[in-house]
Every structure is written in C-alpha cells, then in structure tokens.
Amino acid sequence: MSNFITTDKGPLIPRNREVHPVAYDPGYKTSVSRSPNLPLLSMESSPSEETGPTFGHGKLGALDNNLVLNWTKGAAPAVGERILMHGRVLDENARPVPNTLIEIWQANAGGRYRHKKDTYLAPLDPNFGGCGRTLTDENGYYQFLTVRPGAYPWPNRGNDWRPMHIHVSVYGHSFGQRLITQMYFEGDPLIDHCPIAATIKNRAQLDALVAPLDLAHSRPLDYLAYKFDIVLRGRRQSMFENKLEGM
C-alpha cells in the first residue's frame, strides 16, 4: 500500500467562516431568531462528512438544464431575456470537481416564483417553472439555459428588493462540501442595497457571487452568457497523513 494519500482521502480543509455570511444580522430580520447564539463545535472531518451522495446521469432528463423549455417539456419557450449561465466547479486546491450535481431555482422574468407561498403581484409565466439541474462534466464544467430573473420586493424593512439572482445548490463529492449560494448579475444596482447580500461582510467574497457578462460565450441573435464559477471545500493533501501523531 502506498503511503501517499490523495486529495480524495484526506480530511476536509476546515471551513474559513470569515469568508461566509454572518449568521446573525439585524438588517436581515429573519436571521435574528434563526441564528445559533452558541459557538459551533469544531472537529476534524470524519467519514460522515468525507463521503456523500452521488447521482448518475440516469436520474436526469434531457431538458433538466434548460429552464426555457423544461416546464412545458419543450412545447413553448419561457418569456424573458434568454441567458446562458455557465462555469466550473472547483475545490480549494483549484482542482475541477467532475460529475457533481448542481441544482438552480429562480423567479421568472417578472420576479415571481412558481411556489405556493409566493403571492407577488407579478404574474406567473405559463411557460416557466423556474428550476433546473445538471451534472458537471469531467472538467467540472456546467451550463444552464434560462431567462434573466426579475428583481422582486420582499417583506423585510419598508422597501427591500432582491437583486436579480439565481439560487444555486451544489453537492461536491462529500456531505461536508454541501453548499447553497446565489448568483447575482454584473451591474445590478440593487446588490448594494440588499440586506441578504450584505450578510457577507467580505467584499471580495460578495464580488465573487456576481457573474460577469461573458460576451465571448454569448450566442449572437440567441442568448447572452454569464459566467459563474463555484469553489467548494477541498481536502488536505499530505504524504504524512497516515502516520501516527508525533511520529
């Protein structure tokens, strides 16, 4: 047996909580009663965090990553500005994360979700459902065709609006990498007024959630592209990993 432990065997790199949003933020009112008061219990990862569910292509349908068409099963396209959302999933060691499930959900072009609890006065689009999913390829690459979601008002302070955003859920290869985030759009003036975006105190980390317009990957007379790369936790790589402590 080799002494060398690959990046897929070592413990997960501990999460740097400073690059994440704070749990408690009075500007985002719901977080006030939903944030733990007591410190989290920190430990080195174990098999429970280092393993995780895997999903095969068999579960996915042909239109699952095409939100323009998937609600009507291809019968009629959704209303709105057509966009390609694409990018790569990498880990903290800058290695691509292949074959991992990405799921997205979003409001329609008018800012309305197809959810029984969304009562915003903007109408539903009969041709738009608002969710999609795909697996990254062997280079960690993924893409979705969708429409640009509308900004929408939400009950928080007197006049709060969410910037245009797409919710993104990623698995990685282990349960400890599980992440949900949101993609924003370059140039949206509402980002700087949003209490949810503002839960991230590190400006560079918020900027990293803002997808740039990517004309090189846009398709003339069809769609604009936005690039959104996602970084998941990595694993420690060391050839000393399996030696006893102190040796």
Active site residues: 113, 152, 162, 165, 167
Q: Which of 78, 86, 105, 223 binds another protein (CB under 8 A)?
A: 105
> In the set 114, 193, 217, 227, which binds another protein (CB under 8 A)?
114
Q: Is residue 247 involved in binding another protein (CB under 8 A)?
A: no
How far is residue 8 CA from its own chain's centroid? Answer: 22
Closer by beta carbon to another protein, 79 or else 131: 131
Q: End-to-end CA distance of the chain, in Å?
A: 19
- Pick from 65, 91, 150, 225 the residue near another protein by CB under 8 A: 91
Note whether 14 and 137 are within 8 A (CB).
no
The residues near 102 (Cβ < 8 Å, ≥ 6 apart) are 89, 133, 134, 135, 136, 142, 168, 169, 170, 230
Is position 103 an interface residue for another protein (rule: CB under 8 A)? yes
Q: What is the Cα 150 distance to its own chain's centre?
A: 18
Q: Is 32 one of the binding residues for another protein (CB under 8 A)?
A: yes
Q: Assess 113 for contact with another protein (CB under 8 A).
A: yes
132, 70 contact by CB (below 8 A)? yes
Among 92, 96, 98, 213, contact with another protein (rule: CB under 8 A): 92
Task: Spell out a b/e string for 33-70, using b for 16 or more CB atoms within 10 Å of the CB, else e.
Answer: eeeeeeeeeeeebeeebbeeeeeeeeeeeebbbbbbbb
219 binds another protein, rule: CB under 8 A: no
By CB under 8 A, is residue 110 in contact with another protein?
no
From candidates 6, 46, 139, 238, binder to another protein by CB under 8 A: 46
**Per CB under 8 A, 7 contacts another protein:** no
Of 58-66, 74-82, 136-144, 214-222, the window that binds another protein (rule: CB under 8 A) is: 58-66
